[in-house]
A and B are shown apart, each in its own frame.
Chain A
Amino acid sequence: MEVLVATSVGVMTTCGVYLVLRASTFPVVVGLTLFSYAVNVFLFSMGRLKVGAPAVIDPAADSYADPLPQALVLTAIVIAFAMTAFVIVLALKARDELGNDHVDGLGGNLSDDEGREA
C-alpha cells in the first residue's frame, strides 16, 4: 500500500507540475487541482498508513489511526475547493478581458489605466 500511495502522490504531482507550466489557463487550473489532490493524499499518509483502525476512542480497538492529518486534509480540501472556484472565475475573466486564454494575455489591450478612470 505504501508503494501505491507514494506512486500516486508522485504521479499526481508530476502531472500537476507539467500542467501548471502550460501556457493556457485551463491546463494550469487542472494542474493546480491535481496539486491539491496530491497534497491531500500526502497529508493523509503523514499520519502513517493503517487499515481498519478507528480514529476516535473505541474500547475494543487495539490501535488507532492518527486523527489529526484527517482533520488537516478536511481543512485543505475546503480551502483548495474555494481556491479552485476562484481561479476558474479569474481565468474566465482574463479570457474575457484579454481576448484569449494565454496566461500572459497575448495580444490583449494592456493599456495601463484602462478601466481605472472609467
Chain B
Amino acid sequence: MTHWIILPVLLPLIGGLLQLVVRNFGLSLQRVLGLFLAGGLVALGIKILMLAQAGDTLVYELGNWPAPFGIALVLDRLSAMMVLLTSVLALAALWYASVMRVDEKGSHFHVLFQLQLFGLNGAFLTGDVFNLFVFFEVLLLASYGLLLHGSGAARTRAGLHYVVINLIGSALFLFAVGALYGAVGTLNIADMAQKVAAAPAERSGLIAAAGLLLLVVFALKAAMFPLYLWLPRAYANASAPVAAFFAIMTKVGVYAIIRVHGTVFGEEAGELAGLHMPWLLAGGLVTLVLAALGVMAARGLREQVAYLVLASVATLLAAIGLNRTEALAAGLYYLLHSTLLAGAFFLLADLIRRSRGAASDRFDTVARIQDGRWLGIGFFFAAVALAGLPPMSGFIGKIMILNAAMEHPWRWLVLTCTLSASLLIMVALVRSGSFLFFRPQEMALGEADQSGEPPKRAALWIIGSLLVTAPLLVLFAGGVMEFTTETATQLQEVPKYIEAVLEKPLTAGAR
C-alpha cells in the first residue's frame, strides 16, 4: 500500500491549518505559502497520475481497517485526473487572487481556499458514500465562505440562495444514503455495487428510489435542469478567482455521478443497470438549450460566462447519458477543456470589468477600454474555444461526443440540441465581443473613461497560461484521448474495481 494516495488530502488540510497560524504575519506570507502549497499539490497530482496510469485501482485503507468495514480511499485514473485538474486550476486562481489583491477584501481567504481543496480532493479520492457526504460538506462549507468573500449586497443575496439550496441538497443526500444503507447494508461503493447486483427483486424499487434521489443531489451540485437556477447568480456575483475556481465545483457533481452511479448501477447491476442514464441525457440536453438561451440573454459578461459553465456541464452530462465508452472518454476530454477555459474566462471577465470602470461588465456602449489589446485577444481566444469552433479544443471535444452519439437512438435530438446551442452561444459571444471591444471605440473615441484601470501584466500572464491549454489540448489530443479512453474503459470495468477494493488479503496494508 502506497501512502501517496492520502497526501493530496492531507497537504491542503495541514496547509489550511498553517495558513491560520501564519495569519498574524501578514498576507504576503500567506500568499507565498498558498502558492507553495498549490504548487506542491500540482506536483503531487502529477505523481498520483503516474501511479494511476499503471492501470491498477489502488486502495488506501484508513487506519488499516479492511474495506468495507473501514473507510477506503480509492485511486484510479479518473480520481487522479480530477485531483491534478483541481490543483492546476487552484494554482491559477490563487495566483490571480494574490496578484490582484482579491484576498485582502475579507479575512481567511487563504485558509478557506486550502480547506476547499481539502474537501475537493477528499471527494475525488474517497471510496465510501458517507465519506463522500462528509467531504461534500467540507467543500461546501469552505465554498460558502469563499463565495461571500468580499461581501456586497448582491453577493450576500446570491450566497443565501446558494447556501440554502445546498443545505436542502445535503439533507436529501442523507436521505438517499440512509435508504441505500437500509436496503443493502453497506456504504462502501464497491461493496454496494456487489450487493445491489445481488439484491432480491422486491428490494429493487427501494434501491432505485434511493439511487435516483442520490442523482437529484448530484444533479443539484452539477446544476442540471431543473436544479440549475442557483448557479448563474452565484457565479456571476462571486469574486473572480473564486468564480474561476468554482468551475471545478459543478464537475464534482459530474464526478460523483460517474463514480457512484456508474459503479453501483453499472452493467452488472441487473435490472437496475443504467437507471440514471435516460435522466442524464434528457436533463443534459434541456439544460444545454436553456444555458444557450441564458448566454444570449445575459446582461453582463460574468453572467454570460456563468451560463457558459452551465452549457459545458450540460454537454458533459449528455455525454455521460449516452452510456457508451467512447462518449464517456470524449466527455472527460471535454471536462478538462471546459474547466480550464471557463476558469480563464472568469478571470478575463474580471480584468475586462476592472478596465471598464463604472460600466463594469454590462453590455452597454461606453467609453473605450484603456490598453484593451491583450484583453481583446484573450477574449477572442477564449470565446472561440468555449463556443466550440475549430481549431480549439472545444471543437474536438464536441465533435467526438457527437461522433459517439451517432449510434444512439436519440442521435437526431442530441445533434439538434448540441449544434443549435453552439450556434446560439457563438452568436451571443460575437455580440458581447463587439459590445465590449469594437463599438465603444467608434462611439466614444477620444473620451476614454479614466476610472478604469489598465490590466496588470502578471494577471494577463496567468490568464494566458490557462488559455494556452486550449491549443495544447489540440496538439496533444491523441495522447489525451488515449488517456481518457483508458479512463473510461477502467470505469466500465466495475468487477475489477470491486475486486481491487474488497478482495485484498487482510494483511496487505500491514507494511
- Residues of chain A whose beta carbon lies under 8 Å from any beta carbon of chain B: 16, 20, 25, 28, 32, 35-36, 38-39, 42-43, 45-48, 68-69, 72, 75-76, 79, 82-83, 86-87, 90-91, 93-94, 97-98, 103-105, 108-116
Contacts and interface: CB of A to CB of B under 8 A. Distances in A.
A103 B170 contact: no
Interface of A is mostly: helix
Contacts, number: 112
Contacts of B175: 39, 42
Contact of B163 (A47, A86, A111): A86
Identify the interface centre among B153, B159, B161, B182: most chain A CB within 10 Å of its CB: B153
20 contacts: A32-B164, A39-B175, A39-B178, A43-B181, A47-B182, A68-B181, A69-B181, A72-B177, A75-B134, A86-B144, A90-B148, A97-B151, A105-B156, A110-B157, A111-B154, A115-B152, A115-B153, A115-B155, A116-B150, A116-B239
Identify the interface centre among B130, B152, B161, B167: most chain A CB within 10 Å of its CB: B167
Identify the interface centre among A108, A110, A111: most chain B CB within 10 Å of its CB: A110
Contact of A94 (B130, B157, B168, B237): B157
Contacts of B187: 68
Interface residues of B, number: 37
Interface in B136-152: 137, 141, 144, 148, 150-152
Contacts of A112: 154, 237, 300, 360, 362
Task: Give 6 nearest A-B pairs by CB, closest first.
Answer: A115-B152, A46-B182, A35-B171, A43-B178, A105-B157, A46-B178
B105 interface: yes
B179 interface: yes
A16 to B, nearest CB: 8
B7 interface: no
B1 interface: no
A37 B134 CA distance: 18
B160 interface: yes
A39 B171 contact: yes
Contacts of A38: 171
Given A69-B181, A90-B160, A94-B156, 14 more contacts: A20-B164, A32-B171, A43-B174, A46-B181, A69-B178, A76-B174, A79-B137, A86-B141, A90-B156, A91-B160, A97-B156, A98-B153, A110-B157, A115-B153
Contacts of A116: 105, 150, 152, 239
A103 B150 CA distance: 20
B152 A46 contact: no
Interface in B115-148: 130, 134, 137, 141, 144, 148
A103 B141 CA distance: 20
Nearest to A109: B153
A97 B167 contact: no
A106 to B, nearest CB: 10
A16 B155 CA distance: 26
Nearest to A82: B141
A90 B141 CA distance: 12
Contacts of B167: 32, 35, 83, 87
Contacts of B178: 39, 42-43, 46, 69, 72
Identify the interface centre among A82, A103, A105, A111: most chain B CB within 10 Å of its CB: A105
Contacts of A110: 153-154, 157
Given A20-B164, A75-B134, A83 B141 contact: yes
Given A39-B171, A116-B150, A46 B156 contact: no
A79 B300 contact: no
Given A39-B174, A93-B156, A110-B157, A32 B134 contact: no
Interface string B180-206: 011000010000000000000000000
A48 B161 CA distance: 36
Given A32-B168, A79-B170, A72 B152 contact: no
Given A114-B153, A116-B105, A83 B170 contact: yes
